[in-house]
Amino acid sequence: MYFCLVNTLAMIAVWTPLIVKSFSAGQSHTLIGLLSAIPQICTIVGMILWGRHSDLTQERRWHLALPMLMAAAGWFCTALSNEPIVQLAGVCMAATGSYTAMSIFWTLPDRSLSFQARAVGIAVINAVGNLGSALNPLVVGWLKDLTHTYTAGCLYAALLLLVAAILVRALPHERQNASREWVPE
């Protein structure tokens, strides 16, 4: 799950200005920079509101899966539309959903791993997940060179997010005996 999520975060960080430039051909670099900031503003609002709702309800799995699905839908909109406003809205959805999912993601290891397994579990999750940030520029760059558009790269990110959302829903329920705190023996 984390590999898929970090992959799309790398997609946003590395490719957003170039994707915006691809559907804003002929615009100034300043305008492209300003348009590229819009998804980040949406992300700030989305993370605060969704994180607050998740904390109030103490429900994490749907609060993680739904933003992943929203981000996937955003990448699909960006990839499949020819309308610049729809493509920008798609990037906004992708950024907001991805970063919002990231803010909820790290609540799961605490709920599903025993205290003794948390350090190693979190290290493994982080190590495997961060391979996504290394792999994304290679894959998306290769797809861009192959197709001369960002469509395939956006579809790649969307499919990874769909896989992640399915994996979130397939997780076993949280451990009943997973202690929240360390208790000395």
* Assigned domain for 43 exists: yes
Smallest CA-to-CA distance from 50 within 108, 114, 97, 2 is with 97
pLDDT 10s digit of each residue in the chain, 185 long? 999 999 999 999 998 998 898 887 788 889 988 999 999 999 999 999 999 999 999 898 899 999 999 999 999 999 999 999 999 999 999 999 999 999 999 888 877 788 888 889 899 999 999 998 899 999 999 999 999 999 999 999 999 999 999 999 887 765 544 445 544 44
* Assigned domain for 153 exists: yes
3-state percent helix, strand, coil for the chain, nearest multiple of 5: 80, 0, 20
* Assigned domain for 101 exists: yes
* Assigned domain for 60 exists: yes
> What's the domain range around 65?
2-24+32-170
User: Would you call 173 helix, strand, or coil by DSSP?
Assistant: coil
pLDDT (0 to 100) of residue 140:
94
Total domains present in the chain:
1
pLDDT (0 to 100) of residue 110:
78
Distance of CA 118 to the CA centre of its chain: 23
pLDDT (0 to 100) of residue 183:
44
Q: pTM for this one?
A: 0.86
Indicate which CATH number applies to the domain containing 130: 1.20.1250.20
* Tokens found for residue 22: 């691809």
List the alpha helices (DSSP H) in 58-114.
Answer: 61-80, 84-105, 107-112
Going from the C-alpha of 4 to that of each of 24, 57, 124, the distances in angstroms are: 28, 26, 15
CB 145 within 8 A of CB 151: no
CA distance 51 to 108: 14
Task: Answer left, alpha or beta for residue 94, where phi above 0 means left and psi between -120 and 50 means alpha.
Answer: alpha
* Assigned domain for 44 exists: yes
pLDDT (0 to 100) of residue 179:
47
